């Protein structure tokens, strides 16, 4: 992972309708998004020069802002074009894209009805970290003490910056204890997700995954479900409690950054990444790199 700080890099960032030098893409310290969490974002991947599922990500960004009570002053189509423009300007082949929208600094306080809404889009190099063989070793998860909130206590269907505070706390605690990530339960004590990825569990050839009723229904999650069903695997979306964990043989995570990542351990329970996980990992890799279409996946 690069140690170059994100504020001090070469290149350009699309910022409120124009390309600006990377180091000049700054906001004031009293911006509302920093103080009150009125900020939404997306995480997208560039494969071979194209952003995977760009339309879906752009639409979700607009929806997330709506759920936080503000309107991004650009349509989803305009956001898509701006994203393509910055990827081209950065000559990005394989990388990561971060669109972010937030309330500005015109008003400081809980109420910010007249603050300007800003939008920026940045991208940087992000090659695949692991080969499929290396990923098959599986990562380790610690169960977090923090729970995903109920949908009537936070805008849980949005990709809002404030919802990730407990993810940072959970991941830091897990890493300090020697784990690589954290498994988060929801407000009912059901299995929810990892800190930035959805989770799937396999038992007797059937895929089980939590219902996304208080956390994001990830775009990668949706893609993997479609790939699995086209492979003939049964996928069951349901409530899953932690005491079921020993009954599963395979566990894996899905997300823009995680792609399809096997889990080898949760606390003191071990899992063996197997055929279903490997198949979906390879299918997803082929799909995002243009070697497979969802039509072909069905054949």
Q: Which residues are catalytic?
A: 159
CA separation, residue 41 to residues 160, 172, 260 (Å): 7, 21, 21
Three-state SS at 113: coil
Contact 158, 40 (CB under 8 A): yes
d(C-alpha 198, C-alpha 221), whole Å: 6
Contact 193, 141 (CB under 8 A): no
Torsion angle of alpha carbons 135, 267, 154, 252, nearest 10°?
Answer: 30
Q: Which residues contact 123 (CB under 8 A, 6 or more apart)?
A: 46, 86, 87, 90, 92, 95, 96, 97, 98
| Alpha helices per DSSP H over 68-164 | 76-89, 132-135
User: Which tokens belong to 263?
Assistant: 């889990």
d(C-alpha 129, C-alpha 109), whole Å: 42
d(C-alpha 189, C-alpha 176), whole Å: 23
Contact 199, 238 (CB under 8 A): no
d(C-alpha 136, C-alpha 95), whole Å: 22
User: Whats the size of the chain, residue-wise?
Assistant: 299
> Distance of alpha carbon 163 from its chain centroid, rounded?
12
Question: Using the 8-state DSSP alphabet, how is residue 257 labeled?
Answer: T
């Amino acid at each position: 992972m690069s140690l170059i700080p994100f504020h001090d890099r070469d290149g350009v960032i699309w910022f409120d309708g124009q390309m600006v030098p990377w180091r000049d893409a700054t906001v004031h310290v009293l911006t509302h998004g920093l103080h009150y969490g009125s900020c939404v974002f997306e995480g997208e991947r560039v494969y071979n020069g194209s952003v995977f599922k760009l339309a879906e990500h752009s639409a979700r960004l607009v929806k997330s802002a709506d759920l936080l009570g503000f309107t991004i002053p650009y349509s989803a189509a305009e956001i898509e074009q701006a994203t393509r423009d910055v990827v081209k300007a950065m000559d990005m082949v394989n990388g990561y894209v971060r669109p972010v929208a937030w309330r500005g600094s015109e008003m400081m306080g809980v109420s910010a009805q007249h603050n300007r809404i800003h939008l920026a889009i940045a991208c940087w190099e992000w090659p695949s970290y692991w080969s499929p063989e290396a990923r098959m070793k599986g990562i380790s998860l610690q169960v977090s003490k923090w729970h995903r909130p109920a949908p009537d206590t936070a805008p849980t269907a949005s990709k809002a910056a404030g919802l990730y505070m407990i993810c940072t706390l959970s991941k830091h605690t897990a890493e300090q204890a020697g784990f690589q990530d954290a498994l988060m339960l929801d407000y009912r004590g059901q299995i929810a997700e990892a800190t930035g990825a959805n989770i799937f569990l396999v038992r007797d050839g059937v895929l089980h995954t939590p219902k996304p009723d208080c956390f994001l229904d990830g775009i990668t999650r949706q893609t993997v479900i479609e790939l699995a069903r086209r492979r003939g695997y049964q996928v069951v979306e349901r409530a899953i409690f932690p005491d079921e964990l020993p009954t599963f043989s395979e566990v894996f995570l899905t997300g823009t950054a995680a792609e399809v990542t096997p889990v080898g351990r949760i606390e003191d329970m071990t899992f063996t990444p197997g055929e279903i996980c490997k198949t979906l990992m390879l299918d997803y890799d082929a799909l995002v790199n243009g070697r497979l279409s969802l039509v072909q996946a069905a054949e």
